[in-house]
RNA sequence: GCCGCCGUAGCUCAGUGGUAGAGCGCAUCCUUGGUAAGGCUGAGGUCCGGAGUUCAAUCCUCCGCGGCGGCACCA
């Protein structure tokens, strides 16, 4: 008996894989390609078991596919720009580049320790000028094509940090870092014209049949396509403009209109504000309103009656007042609406507040036109149009078409498709990001940086100690000459959103050293990514941006695929209990001893012995100190145990709760597996037992089939459960007199089935069995269908739906044969005495039900 | 408010239109030369509640209850 010692075994095999270059990917050859990718990490400097779970899943698939004969690309890189480095710089005065590269080195070591089958020769980091310089190159190409533009828009501005914040960085109306009240400020910003691809991105979802429905649905909702009518209302008196255009998805309710409303930042509102301080005050008041979701939700409807009126387009006798309203959004549709209070809740709330008319025009089925009134709830259901001139009597859909057709015929409007999706604001006032390759010249204006100047590299020695953009206040960096006129000019000091960095890295991986941003030949071979794995938190932003950039680059001729990720899997989080002292101080798991007294768990602080409150399992976070690092586990049990556990306890798309007991369970499994490899012998001096041999072979072949199918179905937890069963069978077989060949065959299958999950253990076991080479290079086991299927079946027998016994029947036995067996069964026959059999149901190979009374 | 997911043993969670499961925990016993342990055996369930479909429902359908997540004034 040799004890399994992961501390020696694991490093040894990692070195062996490395030396043999087992995981190095080369484009080409006869094997089909398989591109396995996990979302690359931010190099925070420390790996936690959540990372380990993500990468372990990808590694199972990568190793499995390799064994199944695929040419596998499985690369790793670093999403290395972003705020944490700036925070470190601000707090500790370190250089963000040095800090980041140092973290990368640490995390690379930790990742390598997980025994992942990665091709490290493909490594890249987004903060490397070799990477972001190429990003600048394609950014300029998109600029030429009109996909990049500048526009003035309202943004979330943090007055303390002096930067633009993304919506998700605004919490309860305050900057997430500074805590300052966020202002809505007008700024000129860089945008990527993702809306040009709205339809393509929506259509493309149809082709992504290996994506979770949930993610496709979220993207569909995010793109938010709607069909409607853009319609121009003629303004009474023709001042200050002749007409006002609105957008509606309910042209059928036009005759129910009782007012028009424009957004506070609509040009009409702004024009009036310029002329009237009271209007300006109103707009300022509305803008001050909070930006948090809760505030928006509860915000009261506010309006300003401009005094202007417009003619109803289909009834010139009617004049509708024009309001400025806080609930109308400038960046959706055309920033102006008509209000139909009877059939829209927002319009109704507004109308009730300001005493505007409520005119019902949709009659619910069975409703009486004379009696139907709308009170506090708008009617948005189906029905027939009434009170509506030429639309009367039509169903809603027919009325929409009729109204659009009439508006088009009269030349006052046209059918329109509108998307909720907004263009992507990509400029950030940050110093640790990809510089936007633009030069501002007093004389020539906004000029692209010449390609030969790329990469435009970040300077060293930036000052992060003060809020605001360190690039903008760097003494020399921004000063340059205009490429057009040669005069003095300034570089753009905004940097790109880090989502830009991560929107094309998968296309760079096939050849990360290419002179071009993308090595077309290599990308054409490897793309699309066959299986992408990452957190569901990226369901919309990252995945939508990546899809957009892929299409934009494809239209540029740089790529051939339209969709970057053919298969997507979103994995759940790893959670952990939280521990805190009575004082409220959080404690890390290592500082607490959890005791178990008669099933009652309670925690004790190791340092003081005081009782500790055990809290619910939550997402691992630094603030609650419930983070577990794979390194801690590796020191005690080895990384294979950690890998097995994070894969075993819960389906991959669900959260898994990390517990020390669970890891110990995985560690025991490892030892049980090792015990099988270590004692392959058969009980001596016994006669070979044919039945036991068959049972062992069946178990092995069934395990091979089941593990294969569960990996393919992304049910890694079930796959591990099948390994548990298989090991139990092997254990039984040790004391039975199985044929030595059967035992050897079973152990060979075991090593190969274990390899994707616990690769180090599998290699050591493979060697212990007397094999040469590496299990990482072995083909996946196959199985004999004849051994997987049992020729005899146990059929439960029910009487009136309750299980009353069972019979053994040959597989596929016919109904009448089974019936005979059932009546021949003494126990069942007794129960049927005195009953009249009404029905006899046989489900072949599954069950029998006798209906009797 | 809209959309989605979840509810099964003490805990964490699998699973299936047809015999209710695993790990951990708990109990009993064995081993003490696999010992920073190992093994045998066992107890433990209203499969959230109600109705429906079915020969048969934990599973399918509908209505509730509870928890979680996403979106949210998108005209």
d(CA A566, CA A549): 15
* CB-based contact A852:A830 (threshold 8 Å): no
Task: Flag residues 527-586 of A with CB < 7 Å from strand B.
Answer: 536-537, 540
Q: Which of residues 718-737 of A touch strand B (CB under 7 A)?
A: 718, 721, 724, 731
Element housing A244 (H / E): strand A243-248
Identify the band that residue A293 occupies on the pLDDT scale cut at 50, 70 and 90.
very low
In chain A, % of residues over pLDDT 90: 43
Predicted local distance difference test score (pLDDT) of residue A726: 86
Per-residue model confidence (pLDDT) at position A777 = 95
Whether A836 has a pLDDT exceeding 60, the answer reads yes
Chain B nucleotides reached by a protein CB under 7 Å: 3-5, 10, 12-15, 18-20, 22-27, 34-35, 37-40, 55-57, 69-75
Q: Is the pLDDT of residue A383 over 90?
A: no
Region of poorest pLDDT, from A65-74, A251-260, A282-291: A282-291
From the list A431, A427, A426, the residue with the least C-alpha distance to A473 is A431
CA of A731 to C1' of B20 (A): 26
Report the distance separating Cα A713 and Cα A691, nearest Å: 32
Digit-coded pLDDT (tens) for A388-409? 999 999 988 899 999 999 999 9
Considering only residues A327 and A141, tell me which one the structure prediction assigns the higher pLDDT: A141
Span of A78-82, A109-113, A230-234, A619-623 with lowest mean pLDDT: A619-623
Asked whether the predicted pLDDT for residue A201 surpasses 90, the reply is yes
Q: Which of residues 250-279 of A touch strand B (CB under 7 A)?
A: 250, 263
Among A472, A450, A448, A451, smallest CA distance to A462 is for: A472
Output the six-digit token pair for A205.
């979802």
Helices (H), strands (E): how many in chain A? Answer: 27, 37
Predicted pLDDT of residue A501: 95
Q: Give me the mean pLDDT over the A331-354 stretch.
A: 90
Arithmetic mean of pLDDT, A479-498: 93
Find the helix packing angle between A96-113 and A630-637, rounded to 10°.
Answer: 30
A10 or A794: which leads in pLDDT: A10
Q: How large is the average pLDDT for residues A551-571?
A: 94
DSSP-derived secondary structure letter, A603: E
Q: Which residues in window 338-367 of A are less than 7 A from strand B by Cβ?
A: 344, 346
Q: What is the 3-state secondary structure (H, E, C) of A659-717?
A: CHHHHHHHHHHHHHHHHHHHCCCCCCCCCCCHHHHHHHHHHHHHHHHHHHHHHHCCCHH
* Residue A651: CB less than 7 A from any atom in strand B: yes
CA of A632 to C1' of B27 (A): 33
- In the predicted structure, residue A517 carries a pLDDT above the cut 60: yes
Residue closest to A458 by CA, chosen among A437, A428, A489, A427: A437
What pLDDT score does A308 carry? 92
- Average pLDDT on A277-305 reads 71
Q: Taking a C-beta distance cutoff of 8 angstroms, is the pair A814, A793 a contact? A: no
How many angstroms separate the Cα of A522 from the Cα of each of A124, A379, A513, A519?
Answer: 16, 57, 11, 5
In chain A, what's the furthest Cα-to-Cα distance? 111
The whole-number pLDDT of residue A297 equals: 46
pTM for the model: 0.90
Lowest-pLDDT choice from A191-205, A212-226, A304-318: A212-226
Average pLDDT over residues A369-381: 82
Using one digit for the tens of pLDDT, what is the confidence trace for A689-744? 788 888 888 888 888 888 888 888 888 888 888 888 888 888 877 777 788 888 88
- Confidence (pLDDT) at A623: 75
A407-435 pLDDT tens trace: 999 999 999 998 988 888 888 888 999 99
Q: What is the distance in angstroms measured between the alpha-carbon CA of A534 and the sugar C1' of B32? A: 48
- pLDDT higher than 90, residue A159: no
Least Cα distance to A496 among A557, A402, A412, A433 occurs for A433
What pLDDT was estimated at residue A171? 60
Residue A172 pLDDT class (50, 70, 90 cuts): low
CA distances from residue A501 to A271, A504, A535 in whole angstroms, order as listed: 40, 7, 18
Question: If you write DSSP's letter for every residue of A778-847 in order, what string do you get?
Answer: SPPP---HHHHS-SEEEEEEEETTEEEEEEEEETT--HHHHHHHHHH-HHHHHHHTT--EEEEEEETTTE
CA–CA separation, A567 and A35 (whole Å): 10
Q: Closest nucleotide (CA of A213 to C1')? A: B4
Q: What are the start-end ranges of the E strands in A313-412?
A: 315-325, 336-339, 362-363, 384-385
Average pLDDT, chain A: 86
pLDDT of residue A294: 40
Average pLDDT for A541-559: 95
Would the pLDDT of A26 be above 50? yes
Alpha-carbon gap, residue A103 to A829, rounded angstroms: 74
DSSP letter for each residue of A50-74:
HHHHHHHHHHHHHHHHHHTT-EEE-
**DSSP H helical ranges for A498-637:** 498-501, 505-508, 520-526, 541-555, 630-637
Which neighbouring-strand residues pair with A587? A579
DSSP structure class, residue A458 = P
CA distances from A470 to A161, A456, A474 (A): 11, 16, 6
Predicted pLDDT at A320: 94
Secondary structure class of A420 (helix, strand, coil): coil
Over 70: is that where the pLDDT of A169 sits?
Answer: no
- Cα A327 to the center of its chain, rounded Å: 31
Which tens digit of pLDDT belongs to each residue from A765-791? 999 888 999 999 999 999 888 887 766
Higher pLDDT, A586 or A192: A192
At residue A96 the predicted structure's pLDDT band, cuts being 50, 70 and 90, is very high
pLDDT top residue among A481 and A374: A481
Length A828 CA → B66 C1' (Å): 43
Average pLDDT score over residue span A573-601:
75
Q: Nearest nucleotide (C1') to the CA of residue A648?
A: B23
**Torsion angles phi and psi, residue A476, rounded to 5:** -120, -25
| Chain A 624-643, CB < 7 Å to strand B | none
Q: What is the ipTM of this complex?
A: 0.82
* Stronger pLDDT, A172 or A354, i.e. the higher one: A354
Whether residue A635 is predicted with pLDDT greater than 70 in this model: the reply is: yes
* Cα-Cα end-to-end distance for chain A: 62
A172 touches strand B (CB under 7 A): no
pLDDT at site A87:
86
| Alpha-carbon distances, residue A802 vs A300, A302, A795, A831, A843 (angstroms) | 60, 65, 13, 12, 15
- The pLDDT assigned to A292 comes to 41
Per-residue model confidence (pLDDT) at position A684: 54
pLDDT of A233-259, one tens digit each?
A: 999 988 788 899 999 999 999 999 999
Lowest mean pLDDT among A214-218, A438-442, A467-471, A591-595: A591-595
pLDDT in tens, A652-690: 887 777 777 778 888 888 888 888 888 765 555 566 778
Greater confidence (A713 vs A361) lies with: A361
């Amino acid at each position: 008996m040799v004890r399994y010692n992961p501390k020696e075994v694991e490093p040894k095999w990692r070195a062996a894989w490395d030396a043999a270059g087992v995981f190095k990917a080369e484009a080409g050859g006869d094997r089909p390609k398989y591109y396995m990718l996990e979302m690359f990490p931010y190099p925070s400097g420390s790996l936690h078991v959540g990372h380990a779970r993500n990468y372990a899943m990808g590694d199972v698939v990568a190793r499995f596919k390799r064994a199944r004969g695929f040419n596998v690309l499985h690369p790793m890189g670093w999403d290395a720009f972003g705020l944490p480095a700036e925070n470190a710089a601000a707090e500790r005065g370190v250089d963000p580049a040095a800090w980041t590269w140092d973290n990368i080195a640490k995390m690379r070591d930790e990742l390598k320790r997980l025994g992942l089958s990665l091709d490290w020769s493909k490594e890249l980091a987004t903060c490397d000028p070799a990477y972001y310089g190429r990003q600048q190159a394609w950014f300029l190409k998109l600029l030429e094509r009109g996909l990049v533009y500048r526009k003035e828009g309202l943004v979330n501005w943090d007055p303390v940090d002096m930067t633009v914040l993304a919506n998700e960085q605004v919490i309860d109306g305050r900057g997430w870092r500074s805590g300052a009240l966020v202002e809505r400020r007008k700024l000129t910003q860089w945008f990527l014209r993702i809306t040009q691809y709205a339809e393509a991105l929506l259509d493309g979802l149809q082709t992504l049949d290996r994506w979770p429905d949930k993610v496709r649905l979220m993207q569909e909702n995010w793109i938010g396509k709607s069909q409607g009518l853009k319609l121009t209302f003629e303004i009474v008196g023709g001042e200050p403009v002749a007409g006002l255009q609105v957008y509606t998805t309910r042209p059928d309710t036009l005759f129910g209109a009782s007012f028009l409303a424009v957004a506070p930042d609509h040009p009409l509102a702004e024009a009036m504000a310029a002329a009237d301080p009271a209007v300006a005050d109103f707009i300022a008041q509305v803008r001050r309103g909070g930006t948090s979701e809760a505030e928006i939700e509860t915000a009261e409807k506010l309006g300003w009656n401009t005094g202007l009126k417009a003619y109803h387009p289909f009834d010139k006798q009617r004049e509708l007042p024009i309001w400025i309203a806080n609930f109308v959004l400038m960046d959706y549709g055309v920033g102006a609406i008509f209000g139909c209070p009877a059939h829209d809740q927002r319009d109704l709330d507004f109308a009730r507040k300001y005493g505007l008319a409520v005119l019902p025009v949709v009659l619910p089925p069975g409703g009486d036109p004379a009696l139907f009134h709308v009170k506090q709830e708008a009617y948005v259901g189906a029905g027939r149009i009434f009170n509506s001139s030429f639309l009367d009597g039509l169903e809603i859909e027919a009325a929409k078409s009729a109204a659009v057709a009439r508006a088009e015929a009269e030349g006052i409007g046209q059918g329109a498709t509108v998307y909720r999706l907004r263009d992507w604001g990509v400029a950030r006032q940050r110093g640790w990001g990809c510089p936007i390759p633009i030069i501002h010249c007093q004389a020539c204006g906004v000029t692209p940086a010449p390609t030969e100047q790329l990469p435009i590299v970040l300077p060293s020695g930036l000052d992060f100690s003060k809020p605001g953009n360190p690039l903008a206040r760097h003494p020399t960096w921004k000063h340059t000459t205009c490429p057009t006129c040669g005069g003095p000019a300034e570089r753009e000091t905004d940097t790109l959103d880090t989502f830009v960095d991560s929107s094309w890295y998968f296309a760079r991986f096939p050849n990360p050293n290419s002179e071009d941003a993308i090595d077309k030949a290599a990308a054409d071979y490897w793309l699309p990514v066959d299986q992408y794995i990452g957190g569901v938190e990226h369901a919309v932003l990252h995945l939508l941006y990546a899809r957009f950039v892929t299409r934009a680059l494809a239209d540029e001729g740089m790529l051939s695929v339209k969709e970057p990720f053919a298969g997507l899997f979103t994995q759940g989080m790893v959670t952990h209990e939280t521990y805190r002292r009575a004082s409220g101080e959080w404690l890390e798991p290592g500082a607490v001893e959890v005791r178990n007294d008669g099933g009652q768990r309670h925690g004790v602080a190791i340092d003081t012995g005081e009782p500790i409150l055990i809290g619910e399992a939550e997402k691992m976070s630094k603030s609650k100190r419930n983070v577990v690092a794979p390194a801690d586990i590796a020191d005690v049990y080895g990384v294979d145990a950690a890998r097995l556990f994070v894969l075993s306890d819960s389906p991959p798309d669900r959260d898994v709760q990390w517990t020390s007991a669970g890891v110990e369970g995985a560690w025991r499994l490892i030892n049980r597996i090792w015990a099988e490899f270590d004692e392959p012998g058969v009980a001596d001096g016994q006669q070979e037992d044919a039945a036991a041999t068959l049972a062992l072979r069946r178990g092995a072949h069934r395990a091979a089939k089941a593990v294969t199918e569960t990996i393919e179905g992304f049910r890694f937890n079930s796959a591990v459960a099948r390994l548990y069963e298989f090991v139990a069978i092997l254990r039984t077989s040790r004391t039975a007199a199985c044929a030595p060949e059967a035992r050897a065959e079973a152990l060979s299958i075991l090593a190969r089935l274990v390899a994707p999950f616990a690769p180090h253990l599998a290699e050591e076991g493979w060697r212990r069995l007397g094999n040469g080479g590496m299990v990482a290079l072995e083909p996946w086991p196959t199985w004999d269908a004849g051994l997987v299927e049992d020729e005899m079946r146990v059929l439960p027998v029910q009487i009136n739906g309750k299980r009353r016994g069972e019979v053994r029947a040959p597989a596929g036995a016919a109904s009448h044969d089974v019936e005979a067996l059932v009546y021949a069964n003494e126990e069942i026959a007794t129960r049927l005495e005195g009953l009249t059999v009404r029905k006899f149901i046989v489900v072949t190979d599954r069950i029998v039900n006798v209906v009797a009374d």
